[in-house]
Structure 1
Amino acid sequence: MNYKKVPKSVGFNTKNERDRKLLKHVARRNFSGYVKNLIEADMKAKGKWEEVEKAPAPKKEQKKDAEANKFDALKDKLKRPSKPPGPFINQPKD
């Protein structure tokens, strides 16, 4: 299940001096986090922000027991050492 939404994108016109400066300013930053912090600061300035705790990351769905057992059995089978390789056939003589 996808919990992320991308509601808006931001375009920068590289021929526009103002946009070039803005783009250069955010070039090496976490752009998403930067924008979220700016939105939060704006909301706080306007008195529309109530402190909220960051939501914990969603837990991954648990595998069913039967599926987990099949997976574990396959992992164990793959971990077993194979027989050592036999002699090579048709090797050139020195």
Structure 2
Amino acid sequence: RLEPDILLRAKQDFLKIDSAADLQLFKEQGTDLVDHIPKEREALLEREFQRVTISGEEKCGVPFTDLLDAAKSVVKALFVREKYMGLSLQSFCKTTARY
């Protein structure tokens, strides 16, 4: 799956990594902490979520830089949550881990 550059940069910034290869290695190492859901059930779960797309210069009067900061904060929060759930031996939702 291809990710927007904004998410890749936010992940690299948070993880203090230098390349996309390092990010891929991190993802591969963390798959054991992710819930495994059968493919047929995964399609049903997918419908329960809404996606937000950040594009253009402004959305609803909010400057793009504010949207960028918000996106980075969300990505950082998800990584922190995944990290501490792993440390407490809890699994991290597969759907959340994909995004």
Q: TM-score, normalised by structure 2?
A: 0.25
- Higher RCO, 1 vs 2 (CA within 8 Å, ≥6 residues apart): 2
Instruction: Please identify the structure whose Cα radius of gyration is greater.
Output: 1
Higher strand proportion: 2
